[in-house]
Amino acid sequence: MAEPTINDLGACQQCGECCRIPCELIPSDLPPLLRQFGMSLPEFFQERLIAMLIGSRACADVVLMMVPVKRSTAGERFNKLLADNEYAHAAGTCVFLVEKKCAIHQFKPRGGRLLQCHKITGSVTIRSPWDWYFAHWFYNQHLFEMILPGIAGVFGELRSVFQQMSRAAAWYGYGAEYYQWQRERDGIIAHRLFPLFNGAGPRGGFFVMCD
């Protein structure tokens, strides 16, 4: 899969506006960050990262992805390890943003390096397609097993349900069978996946990013 390109029409003014939405990582972004902070992946994840669910273009499959966590306006890290609707819609900035400057600019994750600022391009902020990140993470789910041993089994169940949802939609449209599998998906996320990350069910629901 070809990498997205940067539409560079100007220089970053370091206003910090783009960093209100933490940028996406790919697995190869992690090693230099771990070396920079002298942390193991589980330690770094607990302190600086959050997991998100992303679906393939047809939503026929799903993976976990890591992004930098948000920090609240009071400067506190959001107390979540897996994103939900409450987290997604909360005001805040990337935890690596310090005085409107990226504190990890030298090791900035791929999502940040490919970001197109609307102040530079004259259009809305554009990020790389979710399917591009999906391709990078699909074969790297073992990284989450390092963080939470045993998650592979739960995630395998979730992946199977997503595939059933896709088949139902393709064969019968968005009918009763599709919504039955959707409820099954919701139950696995709420009662199996969220407790692994946060110790309790989601307070504000959850979301799955699909291209």
Domain extent listing, the chain: 18-141+199-210
pTM of the model: 0.84
Model confidence pLDDT, tens digit, residues 168-183: 888 877 888 989 998 9
The answer to whether 203 touches 195, Cβ cutoff 8 Å, is: no
Predicted local distance difference test score (pLDDT) of residue 80: 86
Residue type, position 152, single letter: A
Give the pLDDT score at 91: 85
Which backbone phi and psi does 52 adopt, to 5 degrees?
-130, 150
d(CA 65, CA 96): 18
Condensed to tens digits (0 to 9), the pLDDT of residues 180-196 reads 998 998 899 888 998 88
- CA distance linking residue 112 with residue 23, whole number of Å: 5
Q: Quick one: average pLDDT of 72-97? A: 85
| Alpha carbons 141 and 63: distance in angstroms, whole number | 7
Minimum mean pLDDT among 59-73, 106-120, 155-169: which range?
106-120
Helices (H), 71-125: 85-88, 110-113, 118-121
Alpha-carbon gap, residue 98 to 82, rounded angstroms: 23
Mean pLDDT, residues 7-28 taken together: 75
Residue-wise pLDDT tens digits, 34-45:
999 999 999 999
Question: Residues 185, 165: contact at Cβ < 8 Å?
Answer: yes
Contacts 24+ apart (CB under 8 A), 197-202: 197/51, 197/80, 197/81, 197/82, 197/148, 198/80, 198/81, 198/82, 202/84, 202/85, 202/86
Average pLDDT over residues 13-24: 79
Q: Nearest CA to 51 among 76, 18, 20, 84?
A: 84
Mean pLDDT for all residues in the chain: 83
Residues 205 and 85 sit within 8 Å (Cβ to Cβ) = yes
Q: What percent of the chain has pLDDT over 90?
A: 33
- What do you get for the CA distance between the two ends of the chain, in Å? 16
